[in-house]
């Protein structure tokens, strides 16, 4: 168990940076669950309680830490199969709960992708991680793209799973705003039941009952205020294609073959945009291949990480995607 106080800047005031203050860390080499104390902010700076897992290698660790960002409306437990697998092989693996999800403070209103990215940077500052392999699924993938835009020098490799880079359409924007209001009025239970057979491939809901229970539990357990804030923020997300065209670090794109939310065509678009990227389509999976087909997902990610750890495959210069607009 770790208790730590960090400050995160939302980009609306102050210096625009991130940092750690008053750290009181009890992190162990075998793993940690952390908290960031406080609720509220002044001049664009917030202090949040952040839940996170931090497992695997420290001294003599294999390669850069692997940081995994969950999607909506989930929490860090969606990465449990990857946390266990890769930490076992000496890789340091960090999986945080995003603002408004899991054990992290809920801030009502609108949470844009840059706010999520700055929260993540602040946590990594506290953990002493200057450079990492950064991965995300769905909304988590979009947060990864925003992090790359803001902090390109901190990214040594990318995992983009079941996500897309396009800005929201007018119809999609209206739907997100409407869903935000619905969740605030009704709670998460009805939405979770409706969404389950699309979050997973419908055939896996019956075939993988323990996974289905986990996914349903994550969705039901998400605070409506946090989910609504993220929906509003994603409604105004930018186009990340200009960022992806300038990616200069190794990138793995993964998608479930039967993903309904972000189909294979969206993954192919990412693959086409990112120079030298690798595309893996996971059969027998929908929007959550890391849970539905964890063995296949882990194999693809391990092959990618093994390639990163061979010095000859590393870029001569640390990754720099450049700042977009």
137 has pLDDT over 50: yes
- pLDDT of res. 27: 30
Grade residue 40 by pLDDT with cuts at 50, 70 and 90. Answer: very low
- pLDDT of res. 114: 97
- Residue 177, burial from CB neighbour count under 10 angstroms (0-12, 13-18, 19+): middle
DSSP 176-245: HHHHHHHHHHH-SHHHHHHHHHHHS-HHHHHH-HHHHHHHHHHHHHS-HHHHHHHHHHHHT----HHHHH
Q: Which helix (H) or strand (E) holds 150?
A: helix 139-150
For 228-243, the pLDDT digits (tens) are 999 999 999 999 999 9
The pair of three-digit structure tokens given for residue 310, joined into one six-digit string: 């061979």
291 has pLDDT over 80: yes
pTM, two decimals, is 0.86
Q: Which of 297, 314, 2, 39 is nearest to 162 (CA)?
A: 297
Residue 243 half-sphere exposure, CB side, CA atoms within 13 Å? 22
Q: Tell me the C-alpha distance between 186 and 228, whole Å.
A: 12
Grade residue 310 by pLDDT with cuts at 50, 70 and 90. Answer: confident
- pLDDT of res. 139: 98
In CATH, what class is 2-313? Answer: alpha beta
- pLDDT of res. 45: 67
Taking a C-beta distance cutoff of 8 angstroms, is the pair 172, 234 a contact?
A: no
């Amino acid at each position: 168990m770790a208790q730590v106080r960090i400050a995160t800047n939302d980009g609306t005031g102050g210096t625009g940076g991130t940092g750690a203050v008053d750290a009181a860390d009890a992190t162990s080499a075998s793993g940690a669950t952390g908290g960031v104390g406080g609720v509220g902010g002044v001049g664009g700076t917030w202090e949040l309680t952040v839940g996170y897992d931090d497992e695997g290698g420290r001294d003599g660790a294999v390669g850069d830490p692997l940081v995994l960002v969950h999607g909506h409306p989930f929490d860090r437990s969606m990465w449990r199969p990857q946390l266990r697998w890769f930490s076992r092989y000496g890789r340091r693996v960090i999986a945080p709960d995003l603002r408004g999800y899991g054990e992290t403070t809920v801030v009502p209103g609108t949470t844009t992708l840059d706010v999520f990215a700055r929260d993540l940077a602040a946590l990594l500052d506290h953990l002493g991680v200057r450079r990492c392999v950064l991965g995300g699924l769905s909304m988590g993938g979009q947060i990864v793209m925003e992090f790359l835009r803001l902090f390109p020098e901190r990214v040594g490799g990318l995992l983009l799973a079941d996500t897309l880079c396009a800005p929201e359409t007018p119809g999609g924007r209206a739907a997100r705003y409407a869903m935000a209001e619905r969740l605030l009025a009704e709670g998460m239970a009805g939405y979770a039941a409706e969404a389950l057979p699309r979050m997973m491939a419908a055939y896996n809901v019956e075939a993988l009952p323990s996974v289905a229970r986990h996914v349903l539990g994550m969705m039901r357990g998400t605070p409506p205020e946090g989910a609504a804030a993220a929906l509003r923020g994603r409604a105004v997300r930018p186009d990340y294609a200009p960022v992806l065209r300038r990616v200069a670090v190794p990138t793995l794109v993964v998608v479930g073959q039967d993903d309904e939310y972000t189909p294979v065509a969206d993954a192919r678009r990412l693959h086409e945009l990112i120079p030298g990227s690798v595309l893996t389509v996971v059969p027998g999976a929908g929007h959550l291949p890391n849970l539905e087909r964890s063995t296949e997902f882990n194999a693809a990610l391990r092959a990618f990480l093994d390639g990163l750890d061979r010095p000859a495959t590393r870029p001569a210069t640390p990754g720099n995607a450049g700042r977009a607009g």
